[in-house]
Amino acid sequence: MEIEEIAKGVLAGNKRCIARAITIIENSPEEGQKLLATIFPYTGKAHIIGVTGPGGSGKSTLISEMTKEYRRRGKTVGIVAVDPSSPFTGGAFLGDRLRMQELATDEGVFIRSMATRNHPGGIAKATKGAVKVLDASGKDVIIVETAGAGQSEVEIAKVAHTVTLVLAPGLGDEIQAIKAGIMEIADIFVVNKADRADADKLVMDIQSVLQLEDEVLALQMRREKRAWRPPIIKTVALTGEGVPQLIEKIEEHRQYLQKGLIIKKSLENAEAELVEAIRDKVVRSIVEKLKREKRFEEILMRIVKKELDPTSAADELLNQVLR
């Protein structure tokens, strides 16, 4: 199939085309770029929700319940579930889908599993592209499940409108998750497995950290950060308890964003994407070009012999190229 055909199919909501489009974005940079450029004008309608949190907190099960609730409300849903690739073999076990399989034959749901391929930050390089494809295909809501390594998953904030941090009592490291940067990016907190006895303590722990943050922000006089108070929702994903309330809060956040912040966030995301694209192209074109020149080998030797440090070497090479 030609790129134009696939793009047309995506816009028409054809599942095979959606699947092929995501594969192209994952594997063929040039074709992928062409495809994304074609569908880009049709993106921007979906509400993108990031679901992150430590492994074992119940993200996949929760996403399955969230999707069912959205479906009950007549919305269509796209899900991108990311799992880590082995840094040694490059392979991956993509098991998130296992908890969502009852949705497999629902016409209004599209689920795609993706391996990080050692891209840092909890999502894959192709995740942003996959989200755009699902957006252009007309999905009302897109849920991205991060790889779940814990504290380093801040990339999701650049992709999602609403970031939901899912914690569960008894995982041992919930306080660590609370302390790390992830706390700052979460728009909604979920305490899953809320039927456990220690759930309320976890809620209180989160509240005290949020309170502290509130006080700091007040001192710094950052008004706009205080306007949205991240709520804490208790859920029992296995039964669906608390999920309708979670969906309500997500809706509230969406409305809050539409009051103007969404432009600011969109600009931030656009800048991040543009810088990343530039960086990619620079590495690809300049480094490839340099490698073909003899100077590259000579400079490598000088670095090994400690005659020149790598940063100064980069300056030398770039001065040549960017003159």
Sites of contact with another protein (CB under 8 A)? 1, 3, 6, 15-16, 18-20, 22-24, 27-31, 85-86, 89-95, 97-98, 101, 104-105, 110-113, 115, 117-119, 125
CB atoms within 10 A of CB 197: 8
Amino acid of residue 223: R
End-to-end CA distance of the chain: 43
Structure token digits, residue 152: 């380093």
C-beta closer to another protein: residue 94 or 217: 94
Task: State how far the Cα of 176 lies from the Cα of 313, in Å rounded to an integer.
Answer: 40
Residues contacting residue 73 through CB under 8 Å, at least 6 positions apart? 247
C-beta closer to another protein: residue 55 or 244: 55
Amino acid of residue 92: A
For the bound state, the minimum distance from the C-beta of residue 105 to another protein, rounded and expressed in Å, comes to 5
Task: State how far the Cα of 116 lies from the Cα of 123, in Å rounded to an integer.
Answer: 6
C-beta closer to another protein: residue 113 or 162: 113
For the bound state, the minimum distance from the C-beta of residue 118 to another protein, rounded and expressed in Å, comes to 6
Structure token digits, residue 178: 């609370």
C-beta closer to another protein: residue 214 or 280: 280
How many angstroms from the chain centroid is the CA of residue 181?
15
Task: State how far the Cα of 250 lies from the Cα of 78, in Å rounded to an integer.
Answer: 16
For the bound state, the minimum distance from the C-beta of residue 79 to another protein, rounded and expressed in Å, comes to 10
C-beta closer to another protein: residue 20 or 59: 20
Task: State how far the Cα of 29 lies from the Cα of 276, in Å rounded to an integer.
Answer: 14
For the bound state, the minimum distance from the C-beta of residue 145 to another protein, rounded and expressed in Å, comes to 14
- DSSP category for residue 257: I
C-beta closer to another protein: residue 179 or 284: 284
